[in-house]
Amino acid sequence: MKITPDTRRYFEKMVETDTLKYSLITYCILTVHVILFVLFLFLHVMPLVLFNIGSVCIYLYCTRILKSGESPIRVFYITYLEIIAYSFVAAICVGWRFGFSQYIIGLIPFGYYMCYTLIEGNRKYFIATALGFFAFFCFIGCRMLSLYTGAIYEMDLPPVGELMIYIFNSICNFTFLLMVSLIFIMEMQAATTKLSSQNTILDKLASIDPLTGLYNRRSMQVFLNHALESGENFCLVMCDIDNFKRVNDTYGHDSGDVVLKEISKIIQQQVKDHGYVCRWGGEEILILSNAPLDYTCQMAETIRRSVESFLFYFNETIVHCTLTLGTASHRDGETVEDTIMHADSRLYYGKQNGKNRVVSPYDTP
């Protein structure tokens, strides 16, 4: 059976909302008691007619508890005791053969689920186990009691009638267990998805420079190592903002932050899918390019021109900034540190010879 998107969203909302989730379970149990009320009214078993009326009232009260925002643990304990009491009364009134006592079996996984989701700390395991043993002994006790007392009401039903009541109780019990299992699986899936999303966010926070949005140095080191291990050719571009200290001293560090962020955006737009960009340190930015050297040099020149023509605004003041870039192509037998050193030395050469330029292996003296 194919689950539609609307159905999936409903179940996802249900498992995230305790009131909706526990109200659904409560209304299902309430519906079963309404059906049993009609059945025993037809069979003239008045103790169970009255008990079902009381059970309906109890579950209507439970729905009010849930709507009021109180903890569902109270509803769980009420449900737990009501089901056990009903099983005993049904066993005494009509006997064991109709299968009313099997509802007690469903309390064991239901108890573990409810205790796991509603009770804090390790005591939830103790409480769930204790309730499980209690349900087990109640099930045995219910059987022994029915053998000792017999059925008070000897209903004159054909075998097919007895079988239909037993099947009805079995269907209700298995449906209840299936519902609890489905909700539990959906909750685990939602928790796994949420954890995965949180881990993704944490990984991103750990790998991204918070000011510029570029990769940080630790992340770039991973990309560099991968590029080296792959054996493919790559290029590095070391960038440095010219006279950045003067910008900070003249206009303040907030203005310097604006310059860093805007230049980072310009570089990211130009690099795009051709490599990775990281804030290497201070105002230095390192580009790992997967493109050939010629294309990398052209890209570096485009970045330089874009920064040169960009107008930086802060406090109604327009400021021009420039960028000096040094490029290097990784050669076989070199380490990553060697290639970085070549790019850095060309950057230094550009700084010492006019700034606002791209220095490549082609024009280094």
Residues labelled catalytic? 283
* 317 CA to centre of own chain: 45
Determine how β-strand 323-329 pairs with β-strand 275-281. Answer: unpaired
With contact defined as beta carbons under 8 Å apart, do 215 and 223 qualify?
yes
- The rounded distance, in Å, linking the Cα atoms of 339 and 328 is 6
With contact defined as beta carbons under 8 Å apart, do 277 and 238 qualify?
no
Strand-by-strand arrangement of the 284-289 sheet: 275-281, 284-289, 235-241, 323-329, 358-359
Alpha helix ranges (H) inside 121-241: 123-149, 159-207, 217-230
The two three-digit tokens of residue 229, written as one number = 């291990």
Residue type, 248: N
* 344 CA to centre of own chain: 42
- 285 three-state secondary structure: strand
With contact defined as beta carbons under 8 Å apart, do 209 and 278 qualify?
yes
- Give the residue among 350, 340, 329, 337 at the shortest CA–CA distance from 240: 350
- Which residues contact residue 334 at a Cβ distance below 8 angstroms, ignoring those fewer than 6 apart? none
CB atoms within 10 A of CB 247: 22
- The rounded distance, in Å, linking the Cα atoms of 107 and 111 is 6
